[in-house]
Amino acid sequence: MMVLRRSEGDQMGHTTVVEELDVDQEYRLLQERLDRNVTGAPDSEAMRRVLRLLFTPEDAHVARQLPQIIALPKLAERLDRDLDDVDAHITSMAERGLVLDFDMKGTRYVMAAPVVIGFFEYTFMRERPDAPMEEYAEAFEDLFDDEDFVRSVFRGSTQLGRSLVREESLPAESEILDWERATHAVESATAVAVSLCPCRKDAQFRGEGCDAPVRTCLTFNSAAQTLARSGLGELITNEEAMGILEEAKAAGLAQTGDNVRDSVSYMCNCCGCCCGMMRSIKKYEIYDGIVPSNWLATIDETICRGCTKCAKACPAGAISIEPTNGKGMRKNWAIIDAERCLGCGVCHDVCRWDAHGMDQRDEPVYIPADTMERVALMAIERGKLGDLLLDNVGSKLAPLAATSLRVLEKMPPWKMAMANQTIRSKFVSTMLGLVKRQVESRA
């Protein structure tokens, strides 16, 4: 057991109320807290290395006690520390991307950050000349090489991100809804911020970055204000954001957005070589790791010349060049793997022969209405509903518990039974534990 003792005021300028910390236990409890998130954080040597690099023992002590959202005065009360001291500590953590904070009606709130989408992205979203970025990049690369961690992020059918189709790739007569359009997310946003692409910055620090634009990560609405507040993003106009979107399209980048229909909070412009999501779904064959658009790429075999441009450009590796086996005059042509195709439309833009098209999928893809519904669905599918309710009792996300239960009630009988197998024991034990503690507190 490693124990750390500190005097007041010797760590980042804030007072340390906890005079003695069992350091190993603080990091273990932080990992367990992160693993309760819907995307998970299973224990491993790589996970422990990342946490020890990014979090001081005092940071870990604070972060492990955060619910999803908590008011700063409540957090100070929970930690039994002076409010000004906690305020300074949270400011330091927010500037390093370990938590997010925002003001609402004059009160400052703190949000716990998961690993992804969370402090991995926040670590690389802006320049940090005084931080050991190469060491951070190597540690995260080891983490993303851990299959258990990757599968915990993409477990279930409801995912963090969805593909946004390029409108210009669709037939002229196509009907496309606002929430399917990347341009609508930009044009309708009440605030927009731009940050450095964390995936390409991470790859650059490992000496593997590509030459695609880096200032391409867009956040919208309250998320934009939150990142700008912590120095993780720069507020820009909607017109400037449209320019960044067009630049990204011209560079062959695919648009991946928040997996919701309303109030999209972010939009990435992804390459297939650096993007963490794209790399993971290809490496581990998790083809539903990004929710596809309602469109599917097609090939006109009478036009395709097998030039390989589309196969090289496809970020998901959904296109292969196969021999024609004597059919026609050409030796090769492109083949679309419908299971892997994200329906992004990148292949359409790079095809100089106009052989690529886009057709609507036979079955429409279900997209959650908003973040609350997405998190509720992810929690139910991944057996994390009990953890979600436990973390949000008494917090600003209390309505999320009701949403989770409403979603559960609407599930078809067969899916309800399957969900019960994964959540029943944890849900019941958590709720009974809450009731027991309430009874004991009133005794």
The reported pLDDT for the residue numbered 6 is: 47
The reported pLDDT for the residue numbered 69 is: 84
Nearest to 30 by CA among 127, 139, 131, 119: 119
Is residue 377 helix, strand or coil? helix
The reported pLDDT for the residue numbered 308 is: 95
The reported pLDDT for the residue numbered 428 is: 41
CB atoms within 10 A of CB 171: 10
Domains of the chain are 3-113 (1.10.10.10), 151-360 (3.30.70.20), 371-442 (no CATH)
DSSP E strands, 313-434: 319-323, 332-336, 356-360
> Is the separation of the CB atoms in 271 and 379 below 8 Å?
no
> Is the separation of the CB atoms in 271 and 278 below 8 Å?
yes
Is residue 90 helix, strand or coil? helix
Nearest to 312 by CA among 354, 252, 353, 270: 252
Q: Which residues, given as ranges, of the chain have pLDDT below 50? A: 1-2, 5-18, 414, 417-418, 421, 423-425, 427-429, 431-432, 435-436, 438-443
Rounded to two decimals, the pTM is 0.85
The reported pLDDT for the residue numbered 408 is: 60
385/391 Cα distance (integer angstroms): 10
> Is the separation of the CB atoms in 381 and 156 below 8 Å?
yes
Strand partners, 4: 21
The reported pLDDT for the residue numbered 383 is: 77
